[in-house]
Amino acid sequence: MASKLLFVCLGNICRSPSAENIMNHLIKEAGKENEIICDSAGTSSYHIGSPPDRRMTAAAAKRGIQLTGRARQFEVADFENFDLILAMDKDNFRDILYQDKQGKYQDKVRLMCDFAREHSDSEVPDPYYGGSDGFNYVIDLLLDACSGLLESLENN
């Protein structure tokens, strides 16, 4: 069972690179590097080519997660190239589905929070204009959702 996962937010510098790197961390711990492949993208073009936000990088480092990668924009080819597309919030979800003009790929697109087990949030909140608490919260919520996602992949 090889799975290709794409995590998507607005800018691809805060939430989705965190989700990608947290998921890779959990995948490595589980010894499943050859089975599950992760990438991330943003629905906007705002930060194409940028590394992860340094406030997000600091919050991830506190939990032992190193953030890597450069921002890229979501593209229609991603619908074919990935098995599962995980939107961080409902705007991202809507913006992704808007690009699926024929409705062929709707089953591949899910909200990240659907996989959280310890948090009842329906969205991963956008931390960009807030303080450090928001960045820390994103990491904790994503640790929960990524572990639920890994378990759900293992059970399928």
Query: Which active-site residues does the annotation give?
Result: 9, 15, 126
Q: Does 14 bind ligand 4NP (CB under 6 A)?
A: yes
Q: Does 15 bind ligand 4NP (CB under 6 A)?
A: yes
**Residues between 48 and 107 that touch ligand 4NP (CB under 6 A):** none
Q: Does 137 bind ligand 4NP (CB under 6 A)?
A: no
End-to-end C-alpha distance for the chain, whole angstroms: 9
Angle at 96 between CA 92 and CA 98, to 5 degrees: 115
Rounded Cα gap, residues 17 and 155, in angstroms: 25
Of 5-13, 28-36, 60-68, 144-152: span binding ligand 4NP (CB under 6 A): 5-13
Q: Does 10 bind ligand 4NP (CB under 6 A)?
A: yes
Rank residues 32 and 50 by Cβ distance to ligand 4NP and give the closer one.
50
Of 7-15, 95-103, 107-115, 147-155: span binding ligand 4NP (CB under 6 A): 7-15
Q: Is 34 exposed, middle or buried (0-12, 13-18, 19+ CB in 10 A)?
A: exposed
Among 105, 108, 128, 151, binds ligand 4NP (CB under 6 A): 128
Element (H, E) at 79: helix 78-81
Q: Does 20 bind ligand 4NP (CB under 6 A)?
A: no
Cβ distance 8 to 15 under 8 Å? no
DSSP codes, 23-63 = HHHHHHHTT-TTTEEEEEEESSSTTTTPPPPHHHHHHHHHT
Q: Does 9 bind ligand 4NP (CB under 6 A)?
A: yes
Closest residue to bound ligand 4NP by CB: 11
Contacts with ligand 4NP by CB under 6 A lie at 9-15, 42, 46, 126, 128
